[in-house]
Chains A and B, each alone.
Chain A
């Protein structure tokens, strides 16, 4: 890795760190507008984090080192994931260093630590949330892998930047397999990011929570990091989606900071549309019964498999 490459890489990660809470704020703003409410400022997540970082952390008496370390682990996992995903450029050092399967593994690592930490203190809600999170995870991960496999088959590689470049530069052709996988990916995104209809990020009903139940024992900087990590996860998922399904406008080839800066407006436009679309889905849906979540994710898997079949059949 040459030092000159570090600058664009740092820029990409920095942009993800800075933009992730804003993206969440934007989704919340759209949701408020769609239900005829006056919207909170899109900067609210930052204010909330500033408030949390200024507070003293309260820990349960029987919290172990794992509980204290988990926020840092989960947060750094998400930062590394943000570096891997070709959100602004495809030839960045970290982007080139790993493939899509490693990325899925990275996201799974974050989930494992989050769940372990939730069970660490031993309260009913943490365990409840962790159990549900694992149920969502073991159904969502295969679907996500399936989605990535379809894109890999099209571009004959599992490296996310290569997939992205291939899809962006290929001659214009319809890829019906990608349409199926796009639906599958959207369902996985909703489930993995604790959005309605799988989980309700705004609820105060502790018995219905999944993601929030796992954070219920956290406070102050730990909670801030966990919430930042959650915002990053949503941002990362959105960027994976862009890389697979709307890859145009990402700086391809060897790049410097200037090319990277030029990709910012494109990414912003994509995020704005994705956020608005997410808000529409969330406003129109009610939350599913928890026992319907497996059906929901099975549907995602089915769509991904259909995409695979369509790809294989249309090639042969």
Chain B
């Protein structure tokens, strides 16, 4: 059955455009998944909603197929416990594996796939406790007595896949690193300087955000959404507000949409500037870091002057934007964009002409287009590997239909391609910023939003600078949140990094890792 048939059966889901949802049986769950896979679709996200009763849970999978988002809900089958409760999708979508492990850790609903190692649970809570599973009992509150280390759930061995052979040894890196960077553990199996295998162990920045959401009201949780991953604050808070406004049936005024797009592009510019500098620095070219840091700092100061925040953590609010763009801010941001565009073009020339940088970037950390498609990678990393997927262009939401950004795609899939995509997206975003500033619609910058009714369900999907950011939101009674699931596309891209490093040299890993620059905090939530 083609995906279109599923699409026709499904009902509209409020929030992002071109999105439908469908309740399915376990059999249909697998059928639909294989149809989506056969049509070249992607798995966007998986989450579970565990009801109060042990048998009342539901599992969700959101697919992206032909620019349409299909959300499948498998309810009833969600039996909590150690036994598999629903068919796993790992074989069709490799990225599903970690999502399913996270679902089990948080909601206690197990898939039938073989990898049962914990993902988000690092021993911070007992194995039979599931933070999102309704009325589940809490872990013992009283601190463990001295000498009862055996009770500590933290003392768990995580079974990394071992590579054996003559001269093979392991290098364990992290989660605490020599620099001030986010925590993640990388287990390399190497021969000499050559990497045979890399296995990631993430989840160190799990903060219990999904549980925290259930303690907040619908109209205030956008602030928490913005704090899931600080560098994607606008993307996350816009995705949240998109879902919320869709559920409430409220359309934001054109000026509000334009300001949000302005914020999203400014966030993209700031991050690309930071990354381009860091990529130069990781190749030992400190000059690049100094120059790009200067440009990023100039932008952050302009943001602070215009919006009151260097990082736009509270800029997007339900109903619009927190602050209007004054005429003065308009001029200042425009001038800032102009000077960044001029200097970035010059720096691009330096990066491209530098023999040493080119030698480090070209051919390093290749993620082939075929592999990127098979692994279901999304976002910037995918576009550098020949995957022309950008939600701003494929499934435009207001105001991106009018803005019509240019899609940047490279086929090489190496560090150089990811650098080039950043340079071109930077250029394009600067153009968008100037275009938005040049034609800001009149009208209010925000309107009032009423909390949606109990049981309302909506999904927001925004193309952040890293890739699509998804937020699934379910309203509870009296303006409360029953369930909110944030998803950063880094979850799909992290496994791709494990492949991109293969056959490369150990000292090239930091450079390759930086060229992806995936979210820890956003992926661990």
Name the one of A124, A196, A202, A290 contacting B193, with C-beta atoms under 8 angstroms: A290
Name the one of B171, B283, B290 contacting A36, with C-beta atoms under 8 angstroms: B290
Q: Given A36-B291, A124-B170, A286-B354, do A208 and B286 touch, yes or no (CB 8 Å)?
A: no
Q: Given A286-B354, A286-B356, do A205 and B178 touch, yes or no (CB 8 Å)?
A: yes
A124 touches B172 (CB 8 A): yes
Q: Given A36-B291, A124-B172, A207-B509, do A289 and B360 touch, yes or no (CB 8 Å)?
A: yes
Name the one of B171, B180, B283, B505 contacting A290, with C-beta atoms under 8 angstroms: B505
Alpha-carbon distance A204/B509, docked complex (angstroms)? 13
Q: Given A34-B287, A286-B354, do A206 and B360 touch, yes or no (CB 8 Å)?
A: no
Name the one of B179, B280, B356 contacting A204, with C-beta atoms under 8 angstroms: B179
A7 on interface, CB distance cutoff 8 Å: no
Q: Determine the chain B residues whose CB is within 8 A of the CB of A36 once the complex forms.
A: 290-291, 294
Q: Given A205-B179, A207-B507, A208-B507, do A288 and B356 touch, yes or no (CB 8 Å)?
A: yes
B438 on interface, CB distance cutoff 8 Å: no
B30 on interface, CB distance cutoff 8 Å: no
Name the one of A216, A286, A290 contacting B507, with C-beta atoms under 8 angstroms: A290
B356 touches A287 (CB 8 A): yes
B359 on interface, CB distance cutoff 8 Å: yes
Interface size class of B (residues with CB under 8 A): 20 to 34
B510 touches A208 (CB 8 A): yes
A292 on interface, CB distance cutoff 8 Å: yes
Alpha-carbon distance A30/B506, docked complex (angstroms)? 31
B282 on interface, CB distance cutoff 8 Å: yes
B508 on interface, CB distance cutoff 8 Å: yes
B331 on interface, CB distance cutoff 8 Å: no
B435 on interface, CB distance cutoff 8 Å: no
Q: Determine the chain B residues whose CB is within 8 A of the CB of A283 once the complex forms.
A: 286-287
Query: Chain A nearest CB: distance from B508 CB in Å?
Result: 7
Q: Determine the chain B residues whose CB is within 8 A of the CB of A197 once the complex forms.
A: 284, 356
Alpha-carbon distance A34/B280, docked complex (angstroms)? 15
B177 on interface, CB distance cutoff 8 Å: yes
Q: Determine the chain A residues whose CB is within 8 A of the CB of B356 once the complex forms.
A: 197, 285-288
A290-313 residues at the B interface, CB under 8 angstroms: 290-292
A200 on interface, CB distance cutoff 8 Å: yes
A289 touches B508 (CB 8 A): yes
B173 on interface, CB distance cutoff 8 Å: yes
Q: Determine the chain B residues whose CB is within 8 A of the CB of A206 once the complex forms.
A: 173, 177-178
Interface string of A271-295 (1 = CB under 8 A from B): 0000000000001011111111000
Q: Given A124-B170, A291-B193, do A35 and B505 touch, yes or no (CB 8 Å)?
A: no
B283 touches A287 (CB 8 A): yes
Q: Determine the chain A residues whose CB is within 8 A of the CB of B400 once the complex forms.
A: none
Q: Determine the chain B residues whose CB is within 8 A of the CB of A34 once the complex forms.
A: 287
Q: Determine the chain A residues whose CB is within 8 A of the CB of B286 once the complex forms.
A: 31, 35, 202, 283
A128 on interface, CB distance cutoff 8 Å: yes
Interface string of B228-253 (1 = CB under 8 A from A): 00000000000000000000000000
Between-chain CB contacts (< 8 Å), 28 pairs: A34-B287, A35-B287, A35-B289, A35-B291, A125-B171, A196-B284, A200-B284, A202-B286, A204-B180, A205-B178, A205-B179, A206-B177, A206-B178, A207-B509, A216-B178, A285-B285, A286-B280, A286-B284, A286-B356, A287-B284, A287-B285, A289-B505, A289-B507, A290-B193, A290-B506, A291-B193, A291-B505, A292-B359
Shortest beta-carbon contacts, A-B, top 3: A287-B284, A204-B179, A286-B356
In addition to A207-B506, A287-B283, A291-B193, 7 A-B residue pairs with Cβ atoms within 8 Å of each other are: A35-B289, A36-B290, A37-B290, A124-B170, A196-B284, A286-B354, A287-B356
